[in-house]
Each structure stands twice: as structure tokens, then as C-alpha cells.
Amino acid sequence: MNCLIIDDNKLARTAMKQLVSHVDQLHVAGECASAIDAYNILQKEKIDLLLLDIEMPGMDGLELTRNIGKNGPVIIFTTAKKDYALEAFELHVADYLIKPVSPARFIQAIERVKELKQAGNKVVQETDHEFIFIRDSGVLKRVKLDEVLYLEAMGDYVKLHTGQKFHAVHSTLKAIEERLPATKFMRVHRSYIVALDKIESIEDGAIVIAKNAIPVADAYRASLNSKLNLL
């Protein structure tokens, strides 16, 4: 794979080239000190992978990613800041590396890139509505929406229940509801949102999902019935 290293810090570019040199499948096609220079190179050359810093003068890494779109190269962000992780993954980058990057962590990211390219030469095959990133105990975790059974408000937190466990997210149920596809999820109570395709039955006014009884408030009952095509 041809990769392009983009970082306004020369020492950081050198460190990244050193990491690349340890991976046989990678070849450094060039290096840039600015996102503008990288953008111009991408108009002329075939690049498979961008090793892209975020904070740079002029156009930053996030802006470059938006400008090249989904049909551009696979992107791994390499940055000293954790602050942009959620926004980065919403742009469907392959990975997010915090400097200084260890060889083991770099190889892990490259393996992820290889998986994505084998899947169809796109950064992410899933649509915006097939997964969500959550911050759980200070760690960003990717959760497939197909694995979510229901969400439960618990004070200042929301519990995302999956088949095997739950994730505790410091958020409001309303804030998360706005990020979920309305065709797949529905609020049925002030404290609960359910995955419609995970509903097993409705008994005594409560939804049953994976043997858990979830209350349905009267205010949501008519909408639920219409979503279920109730006869």
C-alpha cells in the first residue's frame, strides 16, 4: 500500500516513517507538512492510506478528510490530542493513534486497514446508522446498533443493553435518541428506548426483550402500535 504522511512537525513525520519501515506491505509515497499539499498530491497520485495529523496550520486533518470524501484513501489519524476522537470516527476513519505511537499499536491499526480494504476498499462499509461510538469509562467504544436491545436512563447515565452486557454512558436519553435511526429505535417510556426488531412480545402493557420487561407509557402506546403494524 502506498501511504502519505501528513504532519506539520518534521520530527513527527520522521517517527512515522520509522514505523512504516517496519511493515513490509507499506511504502511511503510522500510526506507533506500541510493538508493543502496533501490535497494537491491526492489529485494527481493514487494513495491507499493517509497517516494524517489533525492540528495543522490552515486546513486541518478533519477538514481534509471531509474534502476528499468517502471515496478517498483509508485514513488513520495520528495526533497528540484525544479531543477529536469522536468527531474523527464519525468521519469513518480506520483508526485514531495518539502520539507517541508504539510499533505494536501501529501494526494493529494497519491490520485494521487491511481488513477494511479486503472488505471492499472503503474505509467503512457500514452506513451512519449501523453503529455508534460511545464513551464508556473514559474509553471510546464502537457498538453496532444491531447488538443494542434497549436503552435505559439511570440518573445522569444511560445504560445501553446488548445481548451480553451493558455500557454505561454519561449522557441523557434524549441526546442519544437524537443519534439513533427512528426506523430501528423508539422511545416507549421517559426512561426507555427499545430496538423495535428485538421486541419478542408485549404482555400486560410491557414490552419483553430478552426476558426483560420494559414498561410502555400511555403517551407512546399509539405510536408503538403503528410502528409494529399491529392488526
Pairing of strands 185-189, 192-195: antiparallel
By mean pLDDT, which of 65-69, 87-91, 215-219 is the weakest? Answer: 87-91
Per-residue model confidence as pLDDT tens digits over 94-116: 888 999 999 999 998 898 888 77
Spatial separation of the C-alpha atoms in residues 56 and 7, rounded to whole Å: 7
The identity of residue 107, as a single letter, is I
Q: What does the pLDDT look like over 8-24, one tens digit per residue? A: 999 999 999 999 999 99
pLDDT confidence of residue 77: 94
pTM comes to 0.56
Question: Could you tell me the residue ranges of all domains in the chain?
Answer: 2-120, 131-227
Q: Helix (H) and strand (E) counts for the chain?
A: 7, 15
If you write DSSP's letter for every residue of 57-98 in order, what string do you get?
SSS-HHHHHHHH-TTS-EEEEEES-STTHHHHHHTT-SEEEE
CATH 3.40.50.300 describes domain 2-120: no
Identify the bridge partners of residue 168 per DSSP, sorted by sequence position.
159
Which range, 61-70, 73-82, 138-147, is most confident?
A: 73-82
Query: What gap in Å lies between CA 179 and CA 145, rounded to an integer?
Result: 11
Superfamily of domain 131-227: LytTr DNA-binding domain (2.40.50.1020)
64's enclosing H/E stretch is helix 61-68
How many Å apart are CA 114 and CA 108, to the nearest integer? 10
Domains 2-120 and 131-227 share a fold: no
